[in-house]
Amino acid sequence: MQIYLKPYPYRTNCNVPYPPREDDKGFFNIKKYPGLIKKVPELAEWPDLANCIEQINEDSIFATYGCDRGTEQLPDLQLVWSFVNLYFPEVLDNDGAKAEGRYNEIVGNFLMEYARDTYGNTNIEFIMNPTNYHDFDKIKKGATPSERTLLFIGWSLNIKILGVGPTSEEARDLWKHGIERTTEFLVGY
């Protein structure tokens, strides 16, 4: 297993919560309303990712604000990937240097826990995201950025998991190993 802490690669900040868009159903507050997990289209037919999202929101100090998954076929390799975006549900806990330090501590503890895991070609990336935190009660469908109430710009954590193998079954197995280790760690943190 390879574990990475990467710098923020995007040009714009993430948004929590975020309204529905053409290609997205928007933010689901699964921490507060667990039944909404059934409405997240990215979790359809991906029970291991759904289990990860459900357990994080039920049994950990974190909440999720986004996820996705997919597969890719290269000439000699198969890829299975997913990502989960995390934040602290007490929104102000995501503000400033203290939040940045907490997220870095979490990644460091994950590295100490799993650095010796040698289970195949599984990659886990942690990416610190500058994140715009908005008033949760003022997000509505189609709201433009100027119609949202920005509380502050803080941090969130994106976790990407990738399984790489010669067959789709092996790639899926390696990805599953990564999602299980990640879920186990976050729930136990």
Could you tell me the residue ranges of all domains in the chain?
2-188
- Rounded to whole angstroms, the Cα distance separating 69 from 47 reads 11
- Rounded to whole angstroms, the Cα distance separating 88 from 154 reads 11
The pLDDT of residue 142: 53
The pLDDT of residue 117: 81
Cβ–Cβ under 8 Å, residues 86 and 64:
yes
Show contacts of 102-108: CB within 8 Å, 24+ apart. Answer: 103/128, 103/155, 103/156, 103/157, 104/5, 104/128, 106/157, 106/189, 107/5, 107/157
Report residues of the chain scoring pLDDT below 70.
7-12, 17, 19-24, 136-149
Beta bridge mates, 140? none
71 to each of 117, 158, 163, how far by Cα in Å? 23, 19, 9
The pLDDT of residue 97: 86
Distance of CA 46 to the CA centre of its chain: 15
Q: How many Å is the Cα radius of gyration of the chain?
A: 17
Q: What φ, ψ does residue 104 adopt, rounded to 5°?
A: -65, -35
